[in-house]
């Protein structure tokens, strides 16, 4: 039916993730929402390896690795990378070895950041973890490691930060198709689809999926937590165009189709902000749901900030919950207390 159905996928999700209305948050904090009706796409709710948005990309990446006869999955990230942890779990499930090239990009030196959270799980899933020195180029290190392994007769498969290759982005094009279906079933249309932007593949895939379906890619609004705004915009545009090329080569994106907001990044990637902590507590205390301190907490803070002006009054807005809860255990100092 759609071009996506013709592309090989190694299944890691159980099926469609639910969309839920955040009615308790609306009742408790309606003033903060400016009258918006708020829904969550529960992409934190997946059975494998603690779940999260990278599993959708890994479905396509692992199928590609298997089709190429590869036996070792190599990828990159920061020390507390959710992508690295989900790659380790997914590779275990697919029967591939996994090597993680982890960059020391966040200046946090406590034991929790350097040993707990995602890092603890990387070890449990049996991945080989390479902790790179400050300033190292993780993708170059991954490629060098791949050459070493190839010289030993192994078949490595390399993908960079966040699994955000054009093929990996298709995981979120598939998510966009799910959202369109869920809108139809519920008889509603989201004014905005809000998500965090790290390596840009999630936003790019959602936008490409909407565009391929003839829907409006500008409904997606992301908050960059990693690159500065201009870089995040350029990378999201590049990846969305490349993903759309795989799905519907006759279509293209307009100049205003990719919307990224730079207001929530704070000092740096992985540096907590007060708005992130407030947003995380608000959702935890009204709905019992967990955001993460690096990505979705900052994006949800951005959603709240936009909503309060009233621009989404009586409109339905969808927040894509992308997982990352193991990261909470790497930030006890920022999150404990009140």
In the complex, minimum distance from the CB of residue 321 to ligand PLP, in angstroms, rounded to a whole number: 8
Site for ligand PLP in 76-115 (CB under 6 A): 82-83
Contact 199, 326 (CB under 8 A): no
Cα separation, 152 vs 13, whole angstroms = 33
Query: Are the C-beta atoms of residues 191 and 38 closer than 8 Å to each other?
Result: no
Side-chain-side CA neighbours of 103 within 13 Å: the count stands at 20
By beta-carbon proximity to ligand PLP, the closer residue of 34 and 73 is 73
270 contributes a contact to ligand PLP by CB under 6 A: no
Q: What are the tokens at 53?
A: 């948005």
Site string for ligand PLP, 34-63 (x = CB under 6 A): ------------------xx----------
Q: Which is nearer to ligand PLP, 201 or 217 (by Cβ)?
A: 201
Active site residue 81: yes
> Is 200 near ligand PLP (CB under 6 A)?
yes
**What residues form DSSP beta bridges with 101?**
76, 130
SS3 category, 152: coil
Nearer to ligand PLP, 156 or 168 (CB): 168
Taking the least distance from each CB to ligand PLP, the nearer of 162 and 209 is 162
**228-231, Cβ contacts within 8 angstroms, sequence gap of 24 or more:** 228/262, 228/265, 229/260, 229/261, 229/262, 229/265
User: Residues 295, 312, 319, 329: which binds ligand PLP (CB under 6 A)?
Assistant: 295
Confirm or reject binding of residue 116 to ligand PLP (CB under 6 A).
no
CB of 261 to ligand PLP, least distance (A): 13
Between β-strands 316-321 and 72-78, what pairing exists: parallel, antiparallel or unpaired?
Answer: unpaired
Q: Residues 90, 323, 329, 334: which binds ligand PLP (CB under 6 A)?
A: 323
Q: How far, CA to CA in Å, does 222 sit from each of 204, 260, 302?
A: 10, 5, 9
Pick the binder of ligand PLP from 78, 166, 198, 270 (CB under 6 A): 198
Q: Give the residue, chosen from 72, 87, 202, 273, that forms a contact with ligand PLP under the rule CB under 6 A.
A: 202
- Give the binding-site size for ligand PLP (rule: CB under 6 A): 19
In the bound complex, what is the minimum distance in angstroms from residue 313's beta carbon to ligand PLP? Answer: 27
- Of the candidates 119, 81, 41, which has an alpha carbon nearest to the alpha carbon of residue 324? 81
Question: What's the per-residue H, E or C state across 7-57?
Answer: CCCCCCCCCCCCEEECHHHHHHHHHHHCCCEEEEEECCCCCCCCCCCHHHH
Applying CB under 6 A, the residues found at the interface with ligand PLP are 52-53, 82-83, 162, 164, 196-202, 292, 295-296, 322-324
């Amino acid at each position: 039916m759609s071009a996506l159905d013709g592309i090989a996928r190694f299944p890691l999700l159980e099926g469609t993730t639910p969309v839920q209305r955040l009615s308790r948050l609306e009742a408790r904090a309606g003033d903060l929402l400016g009258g918006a009706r708020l829904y969550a796409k529960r992409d934190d709710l997946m059975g494998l390896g603690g779940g999260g948005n990278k599993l959708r990309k890994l479905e396509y990446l692992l199928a590609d690795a298997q089709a190429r006869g590869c036996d070792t999955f190599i990828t990159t990230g920061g020390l507390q990378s959710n992508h690295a942890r989900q790659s380790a779990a997914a590779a275990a499930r697919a029967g591939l070895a996994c090597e993680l090239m982890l960059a020391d990009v966040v200046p946090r030196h406590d034991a929790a950041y350097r040993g707990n959270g995602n890092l603890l799980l990387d070890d449990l899933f049996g991945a080989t973890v390479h902790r790179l020195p400050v300033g190292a180029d993780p993708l170059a290190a991954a490629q060098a490691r791949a050459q070493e392994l190839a010289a030993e007769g192994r078949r490595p498969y390399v993908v960079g930060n966040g699994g955000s290759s054009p093929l990996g982005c298709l995981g979120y094009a598939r998510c966009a198709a799910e959202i369109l279906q869920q809108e139809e079933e519920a008889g509603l249309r989201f004014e905005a689809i809000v998500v965090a932007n790290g390596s840009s593949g999630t936003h790019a895939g959602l936008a490409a999926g909407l565009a391929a379906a003839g829907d409006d890619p500008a409904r997606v609004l992301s908050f960059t937590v990693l690159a500065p705004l201009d870089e995040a915009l350029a990378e999201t545009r590049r990846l969305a165009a490349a993903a759309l090329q795989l799905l519907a080569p006759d279509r293209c994106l307009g100049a205003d189709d990719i919307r990224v907001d730079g207001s929530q990044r704070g000092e740096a990637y992985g540096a907590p902000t007060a708005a992130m902590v407030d947003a995380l507590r608000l959702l935890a205390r009204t709905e019992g749901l967990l955001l993460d301190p690096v990505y979705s907490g900052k994006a949800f803070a951005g959603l709240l900030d936009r909503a309060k002006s009233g621009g989404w009054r009586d409109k339905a807005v969808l927040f894509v919950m992308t997982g990352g809860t193991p990261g909470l255990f790497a930030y006890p100092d920022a999150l404990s207390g009140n």
